[in-house]
Amino acid sequence: MGGQLILIRHGIAEERTPEGDDFYRKLTEAGVEEMTAFLPDIAPLLTEDGNLKIWTSPLLRARETAELVAEATAVEEIQPQEFLATGDFVAFMDALKQEDEGFNLALVGHEPYMSSWTKELIGAAIPFKKGAVAFFTVDLTEDPIGNLEWLLAPGESAKRKHETAAAKMRAVDKHEGTADCSPCVGEDTLYASIIKDQLAGIQLAYAAYQQDPVEPESAHALRVAIRQLRALLNFNKANGEEKYYREAGEDWREIATTFGYLRELDVLMEECRELRGLYPEMLAEDGQVMTWLMEERQGEQDSIQELITSGALTERILDAEAATDQFLKTIQLDDAQQKKATIKKLEKMKKRLMRKWEEVDFSNHEQTHSLRINAKKLRYAATYLAPILGEKDKDTIKEMKKVQTALGTLCDLDINGHLLLEMADKTDDPDLQHHFRKLSEHQFQRREAILNDEAD
Which residues, at least 6 apart from 291, have a Cβ–Cβ distance to it below 8 Å?
none
Q: What is the mean pLDDT of residues 280-301?
A: 95
CA distance 195 to 244: 15
Q: Which range is least confidently modeled, 172-176, 270-274, 314-318?
A: 172-176
- Angle at which helix 394-426 crosses helix 335-359, to 10 degrees, equals 60
Of the pLDDT bands very low, low, confident and very high (cuts 50, 70, 90), residue 174 is: very low
Query: DSSP string spanning 128-196?
Result: --TT-EEEEEEETTSSS-EEEEEEE-TT--TTTTTTTHHHHHHHHHHHTTSTTS----TTSSHHHHHHH
Q: How far is Cα 158 from Cα 149, in angstroms, rounded to an integer?
A: 13
Cβ proximity of 22 and 161 under 8 Å = no
- pLDDT tens digits for range 229-245: 999 999 899 899 999 99
Residues 393, 343: Cα–Cα separation, whole Å: 10
Which residues touch 246 (CB under 8 Å, ≥6 apart)? none
100: CB partners within 8 A, 6+ apart: none
Sheet holding 52-56, edge to edge: 78-80, 52-56, 103-109, 2-9, 133-139, 146-152
For strands 133-139 and 146-152, give the pairing: antiparallel
- Count other Cβ atoms within 10 Å, centred on residue 295: 10
109 beta partners: 9
Peptide bond into 144 cis (omega under 30): yes
337-371 residue pLDDT tens? 999 999 999 999 999 999 999 998 999 999 999 99
Percent of the chain with pLDDT over 90: 63
- Rounded average pLDDT over 373-390: 90
Helix (H, G, I), strand (E, B) or coil at 127: coil
> In angstroms, rounded to a whole number, what is the distance separating the alpha carbons of residues 158 and 445?
52
Rg (CA), the chain: 25
Give CA–CA dist 44/103, Å, rounded. Answer: 16
- State the DSSP code for 99: S
- 104: helix, coil or strand? strand
Rounded to 5 degrees, φ, ψ at 165 are -60, -45
The tens digit of pLDDT for each residue in 44-78 reads 999 887 889 999 999 999 999 999 999 999 999 99
State how far the Cα of 199 lies from the Cα of 250, in Å rounded to an integer: 16
How many Cβ atoms sit within 10 Å of the Cβ of residue 262?
Answer: 23
Q: Could you tell me the maximum CA-CA distance found in the chain, to the nearest angstrom?
A: 77
Cα–Cα dist 132/15, whole Å: 18
Whole-prediction pTM? 0.77
Report, as an integer, the average pLDDT of 11-17.
Answer: 86
What percentage of residues in the chain have a pLDDT greater than 70? 92
Q: pLDDT averaged over the chain? A: 88
Helix, strand, or coil here: 380?
helix
Query: Is pLDDT larger for residue 144 or for residue 19?
Result: 144
